[in-house]
Structure 1
Amino acid sequence: MSVLRTEARRTIAPWLLFVLLAVGLGFFFLFSGPWWKDADAWNLQWTPSILWSRYLLSLLWPIIVCAAAIQGMRDRRSGMDELLATTPLPVARRTAKVGLVIGLSAVVGYLVIVAVGLGQVIANDGMFTFTWVLPLLVGVASVVAGAAVGLAVGRLLPHPLTAPAAGVVALVVGVLLQVAGERGSAVQQTVPNRIALLSPAGAQPRSAFVDPVLSVSIGQLCWLLGLAATGFLVLATRRWFAVLPAVVGLAVAIPIFPAAAADNFVDNPSAAAPVCEGPVCVTTLHAEWLSTVAGPGKDALALLAKLPSAPTRIVETTTPVNISHGPGDPSTLVVRRDDYALRDVSGHDLEYELLAIAPYCSGPPTGTQASYIIAAWLLGDPGAPPHADVYGAWLTTPMHDVGAQLRALPASEQFARVSAAYQAEQTCSGDPYALLTGATR
C-alpha cells in the first residue's frame, strides 16, 4: 500500500480522479442532464441509472485515455528509459504499479458517479431489479480498457502530441459508435449494429421498461476485457502477441451481438406487469400512481361514455416516447405516466388531461387543440386547462373562440360535431379541429 501511495503521488492519478468527478457530476447536476425526469432518468430507476453512467463515458473515456497516455510516456519523456532498463526490476512489474494506480483512479471516479446516481434512486424508492449488474461490470471494464489503451499508446509513441491526439481520436470514434447505436439515427444506417456495440460508451437509454440483452452485455464485457488485457500487455512487453486478447475478445463479441439495433434490448416483464383498479391499469413500475389516477380515470371514462365508440378502460403504455403509432383499439384510452401533461397533476386537473389525451396517431398520447376543446365540452366548460400557462395562446385562444361558437349551437349540433371530431382522432383521419368549427362537413 505504501508503494501504491508513493506511485499515486508521482502520477497523474489524483488529477484524473478530480477531472472525472468534476465532468461526470457536473454533467448531471450543473447541466441538469439527463434533461427529462421520466422513469428512465439517472436518478429514478436502477438500470437506467447505470445506463446513463455508461452513456457518460462518451465524455469520460477520452479523458481517461488522454490522462493515461500522458502517464504512459513518463519514462521515455523523462530520459530515464535506458537507465531503468539496467535495473533488475522487470519492466512488467514496474509498469504494473503505474497501470494499477491509473486504472484504480479511473475506476474509483466512475464508481463514485455511479454511487451518486444509485443513492438518488434509493432515495426515490426506484424499482429494484438485478438487471443493472452486468451493465455496471461493462462500464467498469470500459474504464479499465481506456486506462490500458492510453498507457500503451503513451509508451509506444512518447510525443508531446500523442496524449491530445489520443483523446481526440477516442472522442470521435466513441461518439460515432455511440450515435450509430441510436435507433433511427443517420449514422446507424451506415454502421452495422455489431460494430456500433463495440463503443466504450453506451447508447442513450430510452425506456425503463427494457433491459440490455444478455448477449450484448456479455459480448461487450469480452471485448473490453480483451482490449484492456492488450493495453497492459503492450505496456509491459511491447511484443506482437499482446494483440491476441483484443482479437479473441472481438472474435467472441461480434458473433453474439444482435444484427439489428432493435434487438439490443428486451422487455422487462416485471416492470411492465399491469396493476389495476377496476377499468384503470398502470404498470408495476408506476404502481404508486394507481391511487392517484384511478378516481379521475373512472370519472373521465364516465364522461367519454357519452360519445360513440368511447373507451371503456385506461391502460398505461410502456412504449418509448420516440416511437410512432397509428390508430389503436378505440376501447382503450392509452396513457403514458411520464407524459408532461400527466406528471404531478391529480384530481380534477388529471381528469381534464385524461379527457384531452388524443389516440396514437402520430406519436405517444398527447393533447391537441381539438382534444382540449372536446375535454372542455365534456366537462361543461371548466375554464383553462391545467397547463394553459405553458401552451399559451396556441391553446387558450382556440379553446375560447371555438368553445364559445360550439356552445352557441343547438345541443344536437354540438354533439354531432364533438362526436365526429372524436372519431376523427380515433381513426387518425380527417381534421378534428375543422370538424369542431364546422369548416368540414
Structure 2
Amino acid sequence: MRSVFRIELRRTIAPWVPIAILAVSLGLLVFSRGPWNYDSAAWNATWLTAVRWPRYLLVLMWPIIVGAAAIQGMRDARAGVGELFGSTPRPAGQRAATLGLALGFAAVVGYLVLVAAGVGQVIAKGGLFTTAWVMQLVLGVLSVIAGVALGLGLGRLLPYPITPPVLAVLALAGGFYAQVSGMNGVGPNAMVLLGVGQVQPHGPFDLPSPAVELGQLSWLLGLTAAGILLLLASSTRAKVFALLPVAAGLAVALPLFPAWSTDNDVQDKMAAALVCDGPVCVTRLHEDWLSTVAGPGKESLRRLEKLPHPPTRVEESTEPFRTNRAGPRDPSRVLINQDDYALQDKSGSSLTLALLSGAGTSPCHAASYGGEQNDREDAARWVMAQWLVGSYTPPSSRRQPPLQPQTDPAWAALKAAPEAEQTARMAAARQAELTCTGDPLKILTEGAR
C-alpha cells in the first residue's frame, strides 16, 4: 500500500498542487498590498488571523485544487483502461482511495505550510494565544479535502477535456460572488456563508459565531461525502445517491446560518478583555501597548477636566478602525484604537495631543473620506486639542488640503471670546462630535446658537 501511495504521489499531479497553492497565496500575502497586510487584523498578527486569511484565500486556491483533482479523476477514462482495471481483483474503491489520499495529502500539506508561515511569525512576535483558531483551521483543511474529493468525483463522472477548466472557472466565479456579496452586504447571507473562501475578516476581535462554524462544517462534510460517492459510484443509481449528502449538508446548515450578516460574528472575549493602569485600559491582545498609552491617557483626562462633564476613562475600542459608527457616543470614555493612523508611532506629548483631538471624541467621518465637511471637522478637532493644551500650533502643512486656513481664524475667534464663553463653545463642539450633529468648527468660531 505504501509503495502504491508513493507511486501515486510521484506520477500524478499531486506534487504540483502545493507548489501552485503556495505560489499564489504567499505571493499575495507577502508581496501584495492587500488588506491582510494592515493593522491588528494582519495575516501574521494573531493566531486567529494567521488561520482566517488562508481561508479567505481559498477563493483562489479552491479552483486550483478542484481543477487539478478533476484532471486526475478522469485519468482512467481518458487512458481507456477502465475495463482493464475493472477485470483486476483489486477493488476499484481501493484504487480510488489511494489516488484520493495522495492528492488530498499534497493539497493539505500545501495549505498547512501556508498557515504555519503565518503562525510562525505570530509566535516569534509573542502574539496572544487563544483557541479560537482551532475550528477555523479544521474548516480550512476540510475545505481543501472537499475540493479534492469533489474534483476527483466530477472528473470521473465527466471525463472530458473541458471538465477541469470549467470546474475551476465555476469555483472561482462562485467564490468571488460569495465574497463580494458578503463585503457589500448584497445577496442572501446563507449564499455568502456557503462560499468556500471566507469573507474578509473585519478585525482581530471578531470571530465566526458557533452557528456559522457548525453550518459550514456540515456543508463541507456534505460536499466531501458527495465527491467520494461520485468517485466510487459504478452505476447511475449510485451517482444519483451522491446528491443526498449535499442535500443533508444544506438541510443542517441553512437553519443554522443567521438571516443577517451582522449576526455572523461574535467577539473574542479573551482577546477583547481589558487590562488597565488606573483609568487607562487596553485590550489583552494589545497589552504591550499599555505602557505607552498609560501616561498620555492620564494626562489627557486631567486636561479634559477643564470641560463640564468630562470623560473619566481612556479605553481601547474593539471596533475595526475603518468602521464608521456615527453617534451617539459614550461621553464618559475616550475611545482609542491601535490601528488609528493618528495614534500610530506616537508617545508622550504627541500621543497626549492626539488623544485630545476633538476633546477626546472619535471623528464622525471615516478615515478615508474627504470633502469640505470632513476637512471642517478635522480643523475643529485640531483647534479643540490646542485649546486643551493651552497653546496653538498650526497643523502640518504636508496635509492635503492644508487645514491652517481654517484653523487660524477659528483659533483667533475662540480666544477672542471671554473665558466662560470659550468653555461653553468647547463643550458644545464636543457635544456635536459625540452626537455627530452640527458643525463643530462653526460652533468654535461663532458659538452655539
Q: TM-score, normalised by structure 2?
A: 0.89
Is contact 2:29–2:37 with CA below 8 Å preserved after alignment? no
1:390–1:170 CA distance, 2 compared to 1 (3 A):
farther
- The CA distance in 2 between the partners of 1:283 and 1:75, in whole Å, is 57
Tell me the residue number matched to 2:406.
398
1:372 corresponds to which of 369, 377, 382:
382
Matches within 5 A, 1:345-424: 345-357=346-358, 359-360=361-362, 362=364, 368-381=378-391, 383=393, 388=396, 391-400=399-408, 402-404=410-412, 406-407=414-415, 414-424=422-432
Distance 1:80 1:243, change over 3 A: same
Instruction: Report if the CA contact (8 A) 2:51-2:133 is conserved.
Output: yes
What count of residue pairs does the alignment treat as equivalent? 434
Q: After alignment, is 118-127 or 255-264 more displaced?
A: 255-264
- SS for the counterpart of 2:207 is strand
Contact 1:334–1:359 under 8 Å retained in 2: yes
Post-superposition Cα deviations, 1:74-130, rounded to whole Å, max 9, x if no partner, equal 222233333333333222122222211111111111111111111111122221111
Specify the SS of the correspondent of 1:349.
helix
**Alpha-carbon distance change, 395 to 77 in structure 1, aligned in 2, over 3 angstroms:** farther
Offset of residue 233 of structure 1: 1.7
Distance 1:18 1:36 in 2: 22
- CA distance, structure 2, for counterparts of residue 204 and residue 390 of structure 1: 33
Are residues 1:425 and 2:433 paired? Answer: yes
Give the whole-Å Cα distance in 2 for the aligned partners of 1:199 and 1:316.
Answer: 33
The match for 1:329 is: 330
SS of the residue 1:211 aligns to: strand
Q: Is the 8 A contact 1:148 1:228 kept in 2?
A: yes
Amino acid at match of 2:18: L
The equivalent residue for 1:223 is 219
Determine if contact 2:428/2:443 at 8 Å carries over to the other structure.
yes
Distance 1:49 1:251 in 2: 31
CA contact (8 A) 1:40 1:49 kept: no
Contact 1:359 1:365 in 2 (8 A): no
**Match for residue 343 of structure 1?**
344
In the alignment, residue 302 of structure 1 is paired with which amino acid? R
Structure 2 counterpart of 1:39, one-letter code? S
Pairing partner for 2:446 from 426, 438, 441: 438
SS of the counterpart of 2:315? Answer: strand
Counterparts in 2 of 1:384 and 1:50: CA distance versus 1, 3 Å: farther
Q: How does 1:33-72 map to 2 (within 5 A)?
A: 33-72=34-73
Offset of residue 5 of structure 1: 2.2
**Structure 2 counterpart of 1:206, from 193, 202, 208:** 202
SS at match of 1:282: strand
The CA distance in 1 between the partners of 2:327 and 2:174, in whole Å, is: 37
Q: CA deviation at 1:380?
A: 3.2
- Of stretches 27-36 and 110-119 in structure 1, the one that deviates more from structure 2 is 27-36
Normalised TM-score (structure 1): 0.90
**What is aligned with 1:255?**
255
Query: Aligned pair in 2 of structure 1 residues 295, 248: CA closer, same or farther (>3 Å)?
Result: same
Aligned to 1:301: 301
Change (3 A) 1:214 1:422: closer
| Residue number in structure 2 paired with 1:85 | 86
The one-letter code sitting in structure 1 at the alignment partner of 2:87 is T
The answer (yes or no) to whether the contact 2:413–2:446 under 8 Å persists in 1 is no
Q: Deviations over 1:24-72 (max 9, x none)?
A: 1111001043345322221111112211111111111111111111221
Q: Decide which moves more: 320-329 or 164-173.
A: 320-329
Q: 1:25 to 1:347 in 2, by over 3 A?
A: same
Other-structure match for 1:289: 289
